[in-house]
Amino acid sequence: MAWVNAQLIDGKAVAARVRAEVKAEVDRLKYEHGLTPGLAVVRVGEDPASKVYVNGKKKAAEEVGFRSWELHPDEGISQAALLEVIHQLNADPAVHGILVQLPLPKHIDPDVIISAVKPEKDVDGFHPLNAGNLLLGRSTTRACTPYGVMRLLEEIGCDPAGKRAVVVGRSNIVGKPMALMLLQKNATVTICHSKSDLRREVEGADILVVAVGGAELVKGAWIKPGAVVIDVGMNRKPDGKLVGDVEFAAAAERASFITPVPGGVGPMTIAMLMRNTLDAAVRYGLVPVVR
Ligand code: GUN
């Protein structure tokens, strides 16, 4: 019998569940401890995609019951002045989570800004201390998108242990932390990049996570029958159609599970940001860190 079409992984529904879990915990935190988690989002300049993402983050924060602030310095802000903004948020006890939306304007070094965020308020999981703790297999704040992918795998009952996991893309935001999270769950992990023999690696994947930003770069014919396919990509084609990094229809004929684009991984990023902010508030809002 030919492989039946893959089951869709409904990221939108899972994300709604995660946000509902967070909201219930926020309600309890407010009632029992009088503590309201606070999230500050910093958006520099007028990048149109960043505006959409940040609006989504603010809306979700309000829905789960956080206090939220958007700081919106203009494109021309100096690195020193932006650092001053971060320092003020670091010092503000009402702010438990700080997120600096990327990309930043060219004259600002993102590494300097990310490193300036207090690690305990770094709800993106991008600070070197949090990224390093993930590398060491210690409990830490995890980058939201790969953390969301791990939740999706859990939801479909996919245990990575002993499986071949192939991660396409080696960004600090998705690819590298994704590979480490899969390794922590005992997958055998391969990271692919522009110099890899992509087809050969993809053909061996039981779990495939693609995050490169190339429209339909991974062909459906390369997918191992029965594989779990997670598409982190989001690309606008010249005809206006939104597509992922995987050729969806052809891949869905071979995969056991696949994420749609949109409605797959995308909504999970924001949901896990809510989870990270709540966890930061519980960890450092209830018991202030003494330094
Ligand atoms: N730009 C694209 N993705 C992200 C993300 O997850 N966090 C931040 N801060 N900026 C991004």
Nearest residue (CA) to ligand 1, atom 1:
102
> 252 and 206 in one domain?
yes
Domain boundary among 64, 86, 119: 119
> 257 and 174 in one domain?
yes
For residue 61, the domain's CATH number is 3.40.50.10860
| Residue segments in the chain with a per-residue pLDDT below the cut of 50 | 1-2
Nearest residue (CA) to ligand 1, atom 4:
102
Look at strands 97-100 and 38-42 and give their pairing. Answer: parallel
Q: What is the per-residue pLDDT for 290?
A: 53
> 197 and 109 in one domain?
no
Residue range(s) defining the domain that contains residue 234:
143-266
Q: What is the per-residue pLDDT for 4?
A: 65
Instruction: Determine, yes or no, domain membership for 289.
Output: no
Q: What is the per-residue pLDDT for 85?
A: 98
What string of DSSP letters covers 138-204? ---PPPHHHHHHHHHHHHTT---TT-EEEEE---TTTHHHHHHHHHHTT-EEEEE-TTS-HHHHHHT
Alpha-carbon gap, residue 39 to 66, rounded angstroms: 7
Nearest alpha carbon to residue 95 among 56, 122, 55, 57: 122
Nearest residue (CA) to ligand 1, atom 2:
102
> 171 and 112 in one domain?
no
* Selected catalytic residue, list 10, 58, 118, 124: 124
> 162 and 100 in one domain?
no
Instruction: Determine, yes or no, domain membership for 98.
Output: yes
Q: Is 101 annotated as catalytic?
A: yes
Q: What is the per-residue pLDDT for 172?
A: 97
The phi-psi region of residue 213 (left if phi > 0; otherwise alpha if psi is between -120 and 50; otherwise beta) is left
DSSP for residue 74 = -
Q: What is the per-residue pLDDT for 95?
A: 98
**CB of 15 closer than 8 Å to CB of 268:** yes
* Dihedral pair phi/psi, residue 19, rounded to 5°: -65, -35
> 180 and 97 in one domain?
no
> 179 and 75 in one domain?
no
Q: What is the per-residue pLDDT for 1?
A: 43
Instruction: Determine, yes or no, domain membership for 182.
Output: yes
Q: Which residue has the tokens 């519980």?
A: 282
> 157 and 97 in one domain?
no
> 88 and 40 in one domain?
yes
Burial 75-94 (b: 16+ CB within 10 A, else e): eebeeeebeebbeebeeeee
Overall number of domains in the chain: 2
Instruction: Determine, yes or no, domain membership for 135.
Output: no
> 164 and 73 in one domain?
no
Instruction: Determine, yes or no, domain membership for 208.
Output: yes
* Selected catalytic residue, list 58, 101, 118, 231: 101
Tell me the whole-structure pTM to 2 decimals: 0.96
**CB of 61 closer than 8 Å to CB of 272:** no
> 162 and 114 in one domain?
no
Catalogue the long-range contacts made by 162-165 (C-beta closer than 8 Å, 24 or more residues apart): 162/186, 162/187, 162/188, 163/187, 163/188, 163/206, 163/207, 164/188, 164/190, 164/204, 164/205, 164/206, 164/207, 165/189, 165/190, 165/205, 165/206, 165/207, 165/208, 165/209
Which residues, in sequence order, are bridge partners of residue 246?
218
Domain boundary among 52, 87, 119: 119
